[in-house]
């Protein structure tokens, strides 16, 4: 796939798109390395899983604080620091002598990855003209999808030939290249960049990190000694303490006025609902393809790649549609396509087999891209430039919460629909029935987002009236 001519003429946009690509590779590349890591370190599967969990928790817990830091000291500085941290920690991952040291390195890699996935969204309006914002947002979505699609195949190829460390080394070298390009491209830009006064609420950052960490643990702990029954009440208390701190802090991590903006809250909630559904195709799909349709691992990988590749192809056109017809109009259209795609995914694989599964991914994934490009554009237009860093962090936070929730909740829903057959899982008919029920139920999430979107124009009108009265 060719990048649009806009990127060729704009090296700053190339850096931002490349950063999004590398951040996505940080998540997807490690998934294929888990069996190799278990063999190399003679580690149990639960221990090896923390290579994935550590990155996701680090991204989720740090993304808001880093967005706030970008508002205070400048987005360019933080982007360069994020690239440097990601590159260094990736090389540390490749050289890790034990599974515990690898997990620690992944935490720092996740902090760098949070920068790479959050700041491009807020910086995009400073590197392209307003009329091209939607196209640029679509390019970022494309790079995220390409990273998701390339990760397993690139990781599998390098690990098979050169060992588990090769994948981390490859992504680290790519980050080093982007770091060099960013320093050269953005030279002199940071001194002229607008910044916001204030400081970071470190206590609030710690409380938020603890709350998000326990939330992520509750979603991934299964039936261990620290299961959801123990962790969710702790999570609720920590979130309550965080909310209290934000009201009391002189310079809150998340400005109360920003969170109180009902349009922003609506957009963040819709983002969480949709990304929860996005993760469902990754965590539930393999069960249907393997146990329901009888495919082997290689064939499953090829079929699963259809979704990310379709996202990669449709990302830029989705952005162009947003530019042409307006973001507010494209949000409900994207949600409608997601609803139709989920219903098709629930039914067509049972009727048409593998072809039906692939066709529904081609139908479903462009809906995700249309929604994300349009919703991000609408959301970023609601705040001033000096608040876009923290707002982009909040968008990233809602996305990652959706991923964590989807990875656990959708699997749990599938297991519930499967019932006692979960352990045996030998009857393709039962698997197909559970798969259909899961995705028919999943349509409730984008439907809820669509209903919420109906209130957005009314909220915007109310906000304008309140601003006029204040004047």
pLDDT tens for each residue of 377-386: 888 877 776 6
How many domains are contained in the chain?
3
Residues for the chain: how many in total?
A: 471
Same domain, yes or no: 221 and 354:
no
Which of 147, 163, 189 finishes a domain?
189
Domain co-membership, 407 together with 273: yes
Q: Is residue 467 part of a domain?
A: no
Picking from 463, 388, 306, 376, the residue whose alpha carbon sits closest to that of residue 70 is: 388
Is there a single domain that holds both residue 331 and residue 414?
Answer: yes
Average pLDDT for 91-96:
92
- Give the tens place of pLDDT for each residue, 395-437: 877 887 887 777 667 777 887 787 764 444 567 888 888 899 9
| Low-confidence winner among 237-251, 302-316, 353-367 (lowest mean pLDDT) | 302-316
With CA atoms as reference, report the closest residue to 127 among 36, 49, 232, 14.
14
Is 327 inside any structural domain? yes
pLDDT number for residue 1: 41
Token duo for residue 229: 């029954």
What span, in angstroms and rounded, lies between the C-alpha atoms of 59 and 404? 11
181 shares a domain with 228 = no
Residues 317 and 422 in one domain: yes
Confidence band, pLDDT 50/70/90 cuts, at residue 102: very high
Between CA 364 and CA 343 the distance in angstroms is 9
Domain membership flag for residue 469: no
Q: Does the pLDDT at position 224 exceed 60?
A: no
Separation CA 242–CA 356 (nearest Å) = 46
User: Is the per-residue pLDDT at 392 higher than 70?
Assistant: yes
* Contact (CB, 8 A) for 380 and 256: no
Question: Where in the sequence is the domain holding 222, given as residue range(s)?
Answer: 201-252
Burial bucket for residue 159 (CB in 10 Å: 0-12, 13-18, 19+): buried
Let me know if residue 248 belongs to a domain: yes
User: Which is more confidently placed, 110 or 252?
Assistant: 110
- Average pLDDT of the chain is 79
Give a yes or no: residue 412 inside a domain: yes
d(CA 51, CA 4) in angstroms, rounded, equals: 35
Token pair, residue 105, equals 């390195």
Once rounded to an integer, what is the mean pLDDT over residues 310-317?
A: 74
Q: Give counts: helices (H), strands (E), the chain.
A: 22, 0
Domain assignment of residue 470, yes or no: no
Evaluate whether residue 53 is within a structural domain.
yes
Whether 336 and 246 share a structural domain: no
Are 17 and 137 found together in one domain?
A: yes
Same-domain pairing of 380 and 411: yes
Instruction: Assess whether 174 and 313 both reside in one domain.
Output: no
- Looking at the structure, tell me whether residues 311 and 329 fall in a common domain: yes
Give the whole-angstrom CA distance, residue 226 versus residue 130.
48
Stretch 243-261: mean pLDDT, rounded? 77
What is the tens place of the pLDDT at every residue in 56-77? 778 877 877 787 788 788 888 8
Choose one of 141, 166, 189: the last residue of a domain.
189
- Give the pTM: 0.70
State pLDDT tens for residues 137-188.
777 777 876 777 676 666 666 776 777 888 889 889 999 999 998 888 876 6
Do 112 and 206 lie in one domain? The reply is no
Cβ contact 33:102 at 8 Å: no
CA-wise closest residue to 414 among 310, 291, 299, 274 = 291
- Long-range contacts, 37-44 (Cβ 8 Å, 24+): 37/99, 37/102, 37/164, 40/163, 40/164, 41/98, 41/99, 41/102, 43/99
Flag whether pLDDT at 79 surpasses 80.
Answer: yes
Q: What CATH number did the domain enclosing 42 receive?
A: 1.20.1250.20
Q: What is d(CA 358, CA 306) in angstroms, rounded to the nearest whole number?
A: 7
> Is residue 196 included in any domain, yes or no?
no
Are residue 118 and residue 225 in the same domain, yes or no?
no
């Amino acid at each position: 796939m060719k990048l649009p001519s806009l990127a060729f003429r704009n090296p700053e946009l190339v850096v931002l798109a490349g950063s999004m690509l590398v951040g996505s590779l940080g998540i997807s590349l490690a998934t294929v390395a888990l069996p190799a890591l278990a063999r190399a370190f003679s580690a149990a599967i639960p221990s090896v899983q923390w290579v994935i969990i550590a990155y996701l928790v680090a991204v989720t817990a740090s993304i808001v604080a880093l967005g706030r830091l970008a508002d205070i000291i400048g987005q360019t500085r933080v982007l360069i620091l994020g690239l440097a941290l990601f590159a260094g920690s990736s090389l540390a991952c490749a050289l890790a002598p034990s599974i515990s040291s690898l997990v620690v390195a992944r935490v720092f890699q996740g902090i760098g990855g949070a920068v790479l996935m959050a700041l491009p969204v807020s910086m995009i309006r400073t590197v392209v003209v307003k009329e091209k914002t939607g196209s640029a947002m679509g390019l970022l979505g494309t790079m995220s999808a390409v990273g998701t699609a390339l990760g397993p195949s690139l990781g599998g190829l390098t690990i098979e030939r050169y060992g588990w460390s090769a994948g981390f080394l490859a992504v680290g070298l790519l980050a080093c290249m982007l770091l060099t390009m960013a320093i050269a491209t953005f030279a002199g830009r940071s001194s002229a960049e607008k910044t916001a006064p204030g400081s970071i609420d470190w206590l609030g950052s710690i409380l938020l990190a603890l709350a998000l960490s326990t939330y992520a643990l509750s979603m991934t702990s299964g039936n261990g000694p620290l299961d959801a029954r123990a962790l969710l009440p702790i999570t609720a208390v920590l979130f309550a303490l965080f909310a209290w701190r934000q009201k009391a802090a002189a310079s809150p991590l998340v400005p109360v006025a920003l969170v109180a903006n009902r349009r922003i809250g609506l957009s963040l909630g819709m983002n969480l609902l949709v990304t929860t559904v996005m993760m469902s195709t990754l965590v539930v799909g393999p069960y249907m393809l393997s146990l329901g349709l009888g495919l082997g691992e290689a064939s499953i990988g090829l079929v699963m790649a259809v979704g990310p590749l379709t996202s990669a192809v449709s990302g830029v056109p989705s952005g162009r549609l947003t530019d042409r017809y307006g973001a507010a109009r494209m949000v409900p259209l994207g949600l409608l396509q997601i609803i139709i795609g989920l219903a098709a995914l629930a039914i067509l694989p049972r009727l048409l087999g593998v072809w039906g599964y692939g066709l529904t991914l081609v139908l479903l994934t462009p809906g995700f891209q249309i929604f994300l490009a349009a919703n991000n554009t609408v959301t970023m237009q609601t705040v001033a430039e000096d608040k876009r860093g923290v707002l982009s962090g909040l968008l990233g936070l809602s996305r990652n919460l959706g991923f964590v929730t989807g990875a656990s909740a959708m699997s749990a829903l599938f297991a519930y629909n499967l019932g006692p057959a979960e352990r045996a899982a030998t009857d393709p008919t039962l698997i197909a029935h559970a798969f259909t029920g899961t995705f028919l139920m999943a349509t409730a999430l984008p439907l809820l987002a669509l209903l919420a979107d109906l209130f957005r124009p009314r909220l915007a009108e109310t906000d304008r009236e309140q601003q006029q009265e204040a004047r």
